[in-house]
């Protein structure tokens, strides 16, 4: 599906998408999908396939909102790295140093967690704490363990670092 001479995708590409996407969705048990092509900052093509809600039969539209889940992590990581680039955050500074009040009271190991640990999933935090109190399960940086809780911690820190609005 290469770019044609006009606005991408060209007519041949659109026809191929319309014929192949539903079959691919069926083969992977994907109930609904929405896609968009952006060309020079503008949507040049968009399409909606399948069902947004299989139980009611509601179809996917161009306005259907899908849960992004962990797909938001790369976007947040980009924002955190832009904060590093701007000098607001340092990858290797302990996140606790940015806060006036500790994030966790009863876990001294959490004070050694850095943004680099969060972004590389080496915080020592579990993925989600469930109903248990949050704590590190190993020394930060020691090994990899996927952790959404680490991203929540970094989000908490960044929310304290953003500049206050001026009047």
- Positions marked catalytic: 70
Identify the residue whose tokens are 């904060």: 83
Cβ atoms of 23 and 29 closer than 8 Å? no
Q: In whole angstroms, how far apart are CA 143 and each of 121, 123, 131, 139?
A: 8, 8, 24, 8
Contacts of 60 (CB under 8 A, 6+ apart): 32, 33, 34, 48, 49, 50, 51, 52
Separation CA 62–CA 69 (nearest Å): 19
Cβ atoms of 51 and 31 closer than 8 Å? yes
Separation CA 155–CA 138 (nearest Å): 21
118: nearest Cα among 60, 65, 157:
157
């Amino acid at each position: 599906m290469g770019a044609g001479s006009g606005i991408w995708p060209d007519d041949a590409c659109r026809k191929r998408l319309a014929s192949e996407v539903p079959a691919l969705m069926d083969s992977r048990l994907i109930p609904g999908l929405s896609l968009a092509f952006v060309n020079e900052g503008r949507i040049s093509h968009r399409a909606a396939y399948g069902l947004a809600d299989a139980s009611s039969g509601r179809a996917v539209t161009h306005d259907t909102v899908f849960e992004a889940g962990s797909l938001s992590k790369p976007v947040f990581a980009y924002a955190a790295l832009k904060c590093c680039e701007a000098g607001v955050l340092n990858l290797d500074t302990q996140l606790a140093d940015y806060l006036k009040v500790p994030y966790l009271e009863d876990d001294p190991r959490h004070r050694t967690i850095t943004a680099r640990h969060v972004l590389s999933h080496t915080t020592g935090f579990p993925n989600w704490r469930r109903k248990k109190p949050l704590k590190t399960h190993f020394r930060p940086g020691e090994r990899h363990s996927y952790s959404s809780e680490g991203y929540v911690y970094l989000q908490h820190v960044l929310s304290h670092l953003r500049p206050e609005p001026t009047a």
